[in-house]
Structure 1
Amino acid sequence: MEDYLNAVVSQLHQMYRTQSDAMEKTAKLLAETISLNQSIYIFGCSHSSIMAQEMFYRAGGFALINPIFAPGLTLETPPVSRTTRFERISGIAEAVLSESPIKPGDVLILCSISGRNIVPIEMAEYARRTGIISVALTSVAYAESVESRHSSGKRLHELTDLVLDCCSVPGDAVLEIEGLPVKTAATSTITSLALLHPVMARTIELLIEAGHAAPVFMSANVDQGDRHNARLLSEYRDQIHYM
């Protein structure tokens, strides 16, 4: 247990040392996007969809983050093994994005720790073609240790406007246990969210400094939470696309 916690802390320190500039650039981009009445979206396949689930409609969360969920690419519908197959299929990305509200000038955060699978790569390509600004949330070390599954040979971080590196190791898992032939205990969910939450907090801070409103949800389990959240959902309905 101590070894795992030490590995997580080490990655968090590495992330802080190496990603502060990218985090600041991303926060400035998101704040500018909201100030122009554009929208922010986030997408991930399989376990990377957890990042999208964490960032929307949650206590203390910025209200204007819109998840994109696609059938067969998230974990709640069995068989979950289908997500592994679907994220490697060409054409899904365009089908999903072309049917979503996303438009030129919006921002799309693409979460893929390995950065090698077809769907997030083709989403980055779609964004580039259509004037959508893209941000990769990935592990550059992991991506550069594997070959792309896309015909272009590119990995996600090579195709987006900005990159946030969660600093996970190739394969994600960090612990070796005697008698176990593979490593266990992945870190990427922890480190990815440790990137996203401070980026969003900085986005909120920048909006307030510029004189803009920054809608943030309260917990529905505290007094006045329901009333507060209902007001935000109504007031910002033009930038909230998940209701």
Structure 2
Amino acid sequence: MSVTKLYLEKGKEIISVIGEQESKIQEVAQLFAQSILNGRMVHLFGSGHSRMMVEEMWPRYGSFPGFNPIVELSLSFHNLVVGANGQRQAMFLENVSGLAARILRNFDTSPQDSALVISSSGCNVVPIEMAEEFRKRNIKVVALVSKLHLEGSTSKKSDGKKLTDFADYVLDTGAPLGDAMIYLDGLDSPVAPGSTLGGVMLINCIKAEVAKILHENGKSPKVLSSGKIVGEKRAVDLFESAYDEHAHLMAKLYQNVGNNSGEN
């Protein structure tokens, strides 16, 4: 079997794992949709390559307002690999205790909000503490992890707790321990990871379920759409109105920052 066919076979296994979580996906979608119906937002966070799942949810074609993508560049901008803003710094920073609290200090959250925290291993400090901080604010947390990778990994948090210890719901990407899925003869390190594949499928399943709930409840989402589908004018109108709605929702998150926290 070619390595391409082998990877595709592994992908089918991941699809099966995602399919087994349908009822949980629908529960998560209900949670997220309720936040949006209440005029609040779903906070999204992921460091490192988990940033890709954040941006897959919003904003991109086929997505809609209601989500607050928290993408901290110091934790996820590592395209230069080495030198300033390199990967070494990003990997160091995602294990600095206290950074999550500093990030969330910028937002006026509400218990009506909900949160999705993405981390393949569920063992890096900042994603764990992000979930912990959301919990302190009485916000329900969904963790998106690779279950086998999490179970085979050791937490870098001093108390040994993992992301799933602060989650109300846990979704599994189906990726293996170590993430990479293809072994080559004579090479001791596998290649071609699977967590992004499973993560993106979970994100879009949730997105579709949330859209369905919103639509059925009289709040049809303003979906970023291609002019090839809805017509060029309609596409422009949708983009503008979706961005405006996002701005109005985000304004609520800044409206009373610091007024109740007593922090500086």
Task: Letter of the 2:77 partner, please give it.
Answer: L
Q: 2:17·2:174 contact (CA, 8 Å) conserved in 1?
A: yes
Alpha-carbon distance in structure 1 between the residues aligned to 2:223 and 2:91: 34
Alpha-carbon distance in structure 2 between the residues aligned to 1:79 and 1:237: 31
Q: 1:58·1:219 contact (CA, 8 Å) conserved in 2?
A: no
Alpha-carbon distance in structure 2 between the residues aligned to 1:152 and 1:15: 31
Q: Write the deviation string for residues 162-218 of structure 1: whole angstroms up to 9, x where unpaired.
A: 111111111000110012120100011111010110111111101111222322111
CA apart distance, 1:137: 0.6
TM-score (norm 2): 0.86
For structure 1, which runs of at least 5 residues remain unmatched after alignment? none
Indicate which of 138, 153, 162 corresponds to 1:131: 138
1:185 aligns with 2:188: no
- Give the superposed CA RMSD: 1.8
Task: Letter of the 2:22 partner, please give it.
Answer: S
**How many residue pairs are counted as aligned between the two chains?**
241
Q: Write the deviation string for residues 146-172 of structure 1: whole angstroms up to 9, x where unpaired.
A: 111112211111211111111111100
Kindly name which structure, 1 or 2, has the bigger radius of gyration based on alpha carbons. 2
Return closer, same or farther for 1:136/1:185 CA change in 2, 3 Å cut-off.
Answer: same
For structure 2, which runs of at least 5 residues remain unmatched after alignment? 80-84, 254-264
Alpha-carbon distance in structure 1 between the residues aligned to 2:14 and 2:107: 35
Q: 1:142·1:171 contact (CA, 8 Å) conserved in 2?
A: yes
CA apart distance, 1:32: 0.9
Task: Letter of the 1:20 partner, please give it.
Answer: E
- Tell me the equivalent position of 1:203: 210
State the identity %: 29
Alpha-carbon distance in structure 2 between the residues aligned to 1:235 and 1:196: 21
- Tell me the equivalent position of 1:157: 164
Alpha-carbon distance in structure 2 between the residues aligned to 1:180 and 1:102: 48
TM-score (norm 1): 0.93
Q: Which moved more, 1:166-175 or 1:61-70?
A: 61-70
Indicate which of 114, 120, 128 corresponds to 2:127: 120
User: Is the partner of 1:115 in helix, strand or coil?
Assistant: coil
Return closer, same or farther for 1:235/1:96 CA change in 2, 3 Å cut-off.
Answer: closer
